[in-house]
A = this chain, B = another copy of it.
């Protein structure tokens, strides 16, 4: 529970993390899947390409930075997760339904900023 897992420069891998760890960082990986049980703090992706993550327990935070293509599969215990994303594209979140099926949602990746007369206002642009 006090230890962190670092996954670095993996290609075409499946990494399974058993038990409860503090944090997992996946850095500069391609086409890599990671399956984990419980996290105390965060799951972090940085500089990745086409990655998948499947969470089997609690996970307070997922952060995705400089990553193109991320499939995040949540479980029921992880529905209160906060997902932070920056400089990334094609992030999808799959959420389990009562039926057991997953429904996929695309995370916005573009900002629209306008001047309000007093300051700037920025909103997310949803691709529909």
Closest partner residue, chain B, to A117 (CB atom): B79
Within the assembled complex, what's the spacing in Å between the Cα atoms of A60 and B82? 34
Chain A 52-91: CB-based contact to B (< 8 A → 1; otherwise 0): 0000000000000000000000100001111111111100
Q: How far is the CA of A127 from the CA of B80 in the complex (A)?
A: 23
A114 partner residues in chain B, CB cutoff 8 A: 80-83
**Contact residues of A: prevailing secondary structure:** strand
Find chain B residues with CB under 8 A from A74 CB: 115
Contact A113 B107 (CB under 8 A): yes
Q: At the interface, yes or no: A15 with Cβ under 8 Å from chain B?
A: no
| Chain B residues with CB below 8 A from A112, complex form | 82-84
Segment from A5-13, A22-30, A37-45, A118-126 that makes contact with B: A118-126
